[in-house]
Structure 1
Amino acid sequence: MSPSTPPSDQPRPAGDRPLRADARQNVEQILDVAQAVFADLGYQASIAEVARRSGLGMGTIYRHFPNKTALVERIAIKVMRESLTEVRDALAAQPLSWPAFANVVRHMTHLRSSQLFPVSRGRAKQPGPELAAIRTELLRALEDLVAGAQQAGVLRGDVNAYDVVLMLNSIPPRHLPDPDTGEAVADLADRHIGVLLDGLRAPGCEPLTEPAPGRREVDQFFRAAHGL
C-alpha cells in the first residue's frame, strides 16, 4: 500500500488495541512535530514536512493517521485541551486579574490556538465527536473567563468570548514563507498580541459600533475559512 493512498478516512480508534511502546513513542513524536509544523506554517503544511522534521517515514505517519484531516483533528484536540487547562487555571484566581487573562491569550497565541477548529478545505464530513465536544467546552470556559475579567473591571465590557476567538484567529502563522525566496519571515505574533491586548483592556478608548459576534457567526467564519 502506497503512503500516498491512505487506507481509510478515519483514524484507528485508540482504544481498539494497546499500542506497543515504540508505536506509542512514534505517535507522540508525530503529534509534537506536527503541532510545531502547523504552528510554523499553518494547516496548509504537508505531511511530507512532518515526516522530514520527525525523521519518520510517510508510511509510519499514515499507519497512525491515515490522512491529513485525521492528524490535523488530533492536533486541534491536543491544543484545545492545553488551552482549556490554561483557562481553568486563570479562572481559579479570584478576583480574575488582568495578568491572568493576558496570560491565557498569550498562551493560546503561542500554541497557535488562533487556528483552533481547523480542518482541511473541502472535507466531506463533520468533525468527530471528541473535537466537537472539546471545542464546545473550551468556548464555554472562555465565556466564563471573559465574564470574570469584566466583573473584575479589567476587560472592556463591550466584547465577548467570540470576539477574542476571532481576534486570535487573526494572528498569522509563526513563519510564513517568503513567496520569492521561500525563507521564513519574522514572527510578529508577540507584537500583534500586544496591540490586541491593549485594545481589549478596560475601559477601552474607542466605542464599538457593530453588534458582537455569537456562536453562529464564529461557526460560519471557521466553516468559510477552514472548511468546517
Structure 2
Amino acid sequence: MSETSPPGSRPQRADARENLQQILQAAQAVFAERGYEVSIEEVARRSGLGMGTIYRHFPNKRSLVERVATDSMKKTSAEVERATVEETDTWAAFTRVMRYMARVGSSQLVPVSRRRATESGPELIAARTALLADLDALVARAQEVEVLRKDVSAFDLVLMMVSLPPGIPDGEADGTPADLPGRQLSVLLDGLRAPGAETLPEPASTRRDIDVFFRTRFGL
C-alpha cells in the first residue's frame, strides 16, 4: 500500500486524487528532464499547485522521489510483459523495451540523490528487484534465439540506460531539438546485436556491481 494511503485512512476525495495525479505527472516530467536533484519547488511550479498541496500528499522530497521511481519501475516491468506477449519477433520485443525505458528517462529508474543518507524504502527495493528479474528474463530470451550478444547481462543494460542523456525540454532549443537519447540508444542497440564485433572484458556485470555503482556514484 502506498505511503499516501495508509491503512485505515479514508478514501481520498476526487479533487485530492486529481491533485495527486498532477503532482506525479509533473514530478515525473521534471525528474526525467533534470534528475532527482531538482527542487520540489520546481515540481510545484510545473504542477500548478502550491507547496502546501504537495506536502499534504508527500511529507518530504524523498517520499515523492520514491513514489515516482517505484511507479516508473512497475510500469517498465508491465511494458516488458506486454512486449513479450505482443511482439512475435524477439528482437522487436527487446528493442521495444529499451526504447520505452529511454522515453521514460533513465533517471526515473533509479532514485538519484547525492545527499541521501537512508536506505530506500521496501516498495522501491521490491520494484527494483522485480524489474531486474524481468530484464534478466528478457535478456535470456533474446540470447536463446541468438539475436542478442551472449556476453551482456541485464545489469549491463541498466548501466547503459543510465548513460543516456536526457531529452532537451520543449522550448529550450531553436526549431526541433535533436532526439539525444534516441540517437545514442540506436547506437547502443546496434552494438548489442549478436554476435558482436568487440570482446567485452570479463567478468560480466552483476547485481552487486550495480548496487556498488549507484551507492558510490549517487549515494543510493
**1:188 to 2:190 alignment:** no
C-alpha distance 152-114 of structure 1, shift in aligned 2 (>3 A) = farther
| Preserved contact between residue 83 and residue 93 of structure 2 (Cα < 8 Å) | yes
Residue number in structure 1 paired with 2:50: 57
> Number of matched residues?
214
| Preserved contact between residue 30 and residue 50 of structure 1 (Cα < 8 Å) | yes
Residue number in structure 2 paired with 1:41: 34
Q: How does 1:85-124 map to 2 (within 5 A)?
A: 85-92=78-85, 97-124=90-117
Residue number in structure 2 paired with 1:20: 13
Q: Equivalents in 1 of 2:35, 2:109: separation in Å? A: 11
Residue number in structure 2 paired with 1:84: 77
| Preserved contact between residue 91 and residue 142 of structure 2 (Cα < 8 Å) | yes
Q: Give the TM-score taking structure 1 as reference length.
A: 0.86
Secondary structure class of the residue paired with 1:92: helix
Q: Equivalents in 2 of 1:37, 1:114: separation in Å? A: 11
Residue number in structure 2 paired with 1:197: 189
Residue number in structure 2 paired with 1:132: 125
| Preserved contact between residue 80 and residue 134 of structure 2 (Cα < 8 Å) | yes
C-alpha distance 133-59 of structure 1, shift in aligned 2 (>3 A) = same
Residue number in structure 2 paired with 1:8: none
Secondary structure class of the residue paired with 1:56: coil
Q: Equivalents in 2 of 1:222, 1:146: separation in Å? A: 21
Structure 2 gap segments, 5+ residues each: none
Which of residues 181, 200, 203 is equivalent to 1:208? Answer: 200
Quote the offset at 1:173 in angstroms: 2.2
The amino acid of 2:19's aligned partner reads: N
C-alpha distance 187-132 of structure 1, shift in aligned 2 (>3 A) = same
Quote the offset at 1:209 in angstroms: 2.4
Q: Give the TM-score taking structure 2 as reference length.
A: 0.89
Residue number in structure 2 paired with 1:172: 165
Q: Equivalents in 2 of 1:171, 1:51: separation in Å? A: 26
Q: Equivalents in 2 of 1:211, 1:94: separation in Å? A: 31
Secondary structure class of the residue paired with 1:164: helix
| Preserved contact between residue 174 and residue 187 of structure 1 (Cα < 8 Å) | yes
Q: Equivalents in 1 of 2:66, 2:76: separation in Å? A: 15
Q: Equivalents in 1 of 2:147, 2:6: separation in Å? A: 43
**1:161 to 2:151 alignment:** no
Quote the offset at 1:203 in angstroms: 1.1
Quote the offset at 1:90 in angstroms: 2.6
Residue number in structure 2 paired with 1:69: 62
Quote the offset at 1:187 in angstroms: 4.5
Structure 1 gap segments, 5+ residues each: 1-10, 177-182
| Preserved contact between residue 90 and residue 104 of structure 1 (Cα < 8 Å) | yes
| Preserved contact between residue 79 and residue 113 of structure 1 (Cα < 8 Å) | no
| Preserved contact between residue 35 and residue 112 of structure 2 (Cα < 8 Å) | no
Secondary structure class of the residue paired with 1:89: helix
Q: From the two aligned structures, give the one with the greater helix fraction.
A: 2
C-alpha distance 192-167 of structure 1, shift in aligned 2 (>3 A) = same
Q: Equivalents in 2 of 1:207, 1:114: separation in Å? A: 28
**Cα RMSD between the aligned structures?**
2.2
